[in-house]
Amino acid sequence: MSLVETGQRVYNEHCYFCHGYNGDARTVAARYLNPPPRDFTAKNARTLSSARIAHAVTNGIPGSAMQAFTARLTPAQIKAVGAFVRAAFVDRKTHRTVRYHSPENGWYDHAQRYASAYPFVDGRVSLRVPLVELSDEQRAGRDLFLSSCITCHERDDAGAVEFSPRPLSYPRNGVTPQTIDSASAASTYVRSAPPVPPSLQAGATLFQQNCAMCHGADGSGRNWIGQFIEPHAADLRALKLSAQGARAALRARIETGVPGSAMPAWRYVFDTAQLDAVVDYLCGALIRAGCGGRPPLPISRQNH
């Protein structure tokens, strides 16, 4: 594997949340950060050498959200990511657009399930078009775009759509904000999870509406918010719970929150039945080791 190829892997693992898969910093994080993340494709970035990029990765940039990565990356990895950023984004010689909406990133059957929203994503249909002039399919696509896509795919012609970022620990159930809010609007992962058996559907719905914003639809925590917050959102699939009292321990963690993290106490949001439903879903579908010795249902065997 070449130096640039190694750097691309490192970049896609640690850097895209702020700088974007294409290096242009057109990310949700850019709406929150001041100063914003570096746009490596901009004209003022052409003087950046791979060594200077590596220096920023090593030491961070004071006064910005760019932190030092020496605790996470080896010197070889830092050198590689500097080489990749220079070659791919500054010189634009080696990079091909990365397909983000893949199953590995938690996007289940994306092309088919989001087909009706594509015209609003790429601008073929404007959000300014009156609803009465749209077909039933286009209205459904518009609703899907506004509920799941616009967080990342804001359109310049959106007009009345505004982003108002504000710190929230969880989305507000039953509340429709007057503006599309990057933090409290529906997670972009809400509609991307694989289907589940009817017995787990109640918990799955609660999880996708409230928890996927940080933990991802698949529970991996590998969406941008989950990786942006410190400490990172837990990979729920990898939770190791002892068989004895596993469900009770998991429920208590959800109910009371996790001190020193962004995980809030959900007892103020969920009632008893909802807490139980979420635990049932986690134990029955997401946590690889199951809870209490019961393994989760394999995704490939779940009822579709």
The CATH number linked to 278 is: 1.10.760.10
Instruction: Give the residue among 178, 181, 149 at the shortest CA–CA distance from 163.
Output: 181
Q: In the structure encoding, which two tokens stand for residue 76, read together?
A: 């070889």
State the greatest distance between any 2 C-alpha atoms of the chain, in Å, as a whole number.
59
Each residue's pLDDT tens digit, 18-67: 888 788 887 766 766 778 889 999 988 989 999 999 999 999 888 787 88
Q: Are residues 241 and 283 in the same domain?
A: yes
- What pLDDT is stored for residue 109 in this prediction? 83
Alpha carbons 47 and 82: distance in angstroms, whole number: 13
Q: Are residues 60 and 137 in the same domain?
A: no
Residue in the block written with tokens 């850097």:
15
Q: Residue 4: pLDDT above 80?
A: yes
Q: Using N-to-C axis directions, what is the helix angle for 246-256 and 272-281, rounded to 10°?
A: 120
Give the confidence band of 296 by pLDDT, cuts at 50, 70, 90. low
Q: Does 235 reside within a domain?
A: yes
Is 166 domain-assigned?
no
Of 214, 222, 227, 116, the closest CA to residue 171 belongs to 214
Mean pLDDT over residues 208-219, rounded? 80
Question: Residue 189 above 60 pLDDT?
Answer: no
What's the number of domains the chain is made of? 3
81 and 111 within one domain: no
Average pLDDT, the chain: 76
Q: 255 with 294, same domain? A: yes
Cα separation, 142 vs 267, in Å, equals 34
Would 170 be classed as within a structural domain?
A: no
User: Which residue range forms the structural domain that includes residue 294?
Assistant: 198-301
* pLDDT for 168 beyond 60: no
Higher pLDDT, 107 or 177: 107
| Domain-embedded: residue 131 | yes
- The answer as to whether 161 is a domain residue is no
Q: Cis ω on the peptide bond leading into residue 195 (within 30° of 0)?
A: no
Residues in the chain: 304
69 with 141, same domain: the answer is no
Q: Do 126 and 209 lie in a common domain?
A: no
Q: What is the distance between the alpha carbons of residues 101 and 107, in angstroms, rounded to a whole number?
A: 5
Q: Which is more confident, 67 or 99? A: 67
Q: Are 213 and 189 in contact (CB under 8 A)?
A: yes
Could you give the CA distance from residue 212 to residue 115 in angstroms, rounded to a whole number? 22
Q: Are residues 287 and 216 in the same domain?
A: yes
More confident residue, 22 or 298: 22
Which of 113, 128, 149 is the C-terminal boundary of a domain?
149
Name residue 163's beta-bridge partners.
Answer: 180
CB of 228 closer than 8 Å to CB of 216: no
**Angstrom distances, CA of residue 295 to CA of 238, 248, 289, 291, 298:** 12, 16, 6, 7, 9
Please tell me which residue, 231 or 283, carries the higher pLDDT value: 283
Residues 216 and 280 in one domain: yes
Does residue 178 belong to any structural domain of this protein?
A: no
